[in-house]
């Protein structure tokens, strides 16, 4: 079992939500494959859900950027 120190604070600078979502999507996908190969299907499923959630965030952000850069948005 891995022990986590209590009361420790991260000294890393804040990162953008999009960067975090991309990292989580990649890592969750890798962990899901590892879990599935190791015979842990429920854990693999949960990690896939985390990956899909992160990918959904990325897709939503991309759609917002696309709509905001379209000069015809909001015109009748």
Residue 37 counted as domain residue: yes
Q: At what angle do helices 17-37 and 41-69 cross, to 10 degrees?
A: 150
Per the confidence metrics, is the pTM higher than 0.85? no
- 12/31 Cα distance (integer angstroms): 23
Residue 57 counted as domain residue: yes
Residue 73 counted as domain residue: no
Residue 47 counted as domain residue: yes
Residue 75 counted as domain residue: no
- 17/57 Cα distance (integer angstroms): 9
Domain count, the chain: 1
- 19/61 Cα distance (integer angstroms): 11
Mean pLDDT per 10-residue interval, the chain, length 76 residues: 53 78 95 98 98 94 76 56
Full domain range(s) for residue 57: 17-67
């Amino acid at each position: 079992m891995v022990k986590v120190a209590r009361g420790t604070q991260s000294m890393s600078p804040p990162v953008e939500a999009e960067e975090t979502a991309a990292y989580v999507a990649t890592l969750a996908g890798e962990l899901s494959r590892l879990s599935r190969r190791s015979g842990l299907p429920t854990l693999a499923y949960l990690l896939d859900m985390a990956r899909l959630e992160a990918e959904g965030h990325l897709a939503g952000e991309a759609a917002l950027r696309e709509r905001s850069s379209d000069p015809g948005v909001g015109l009748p």
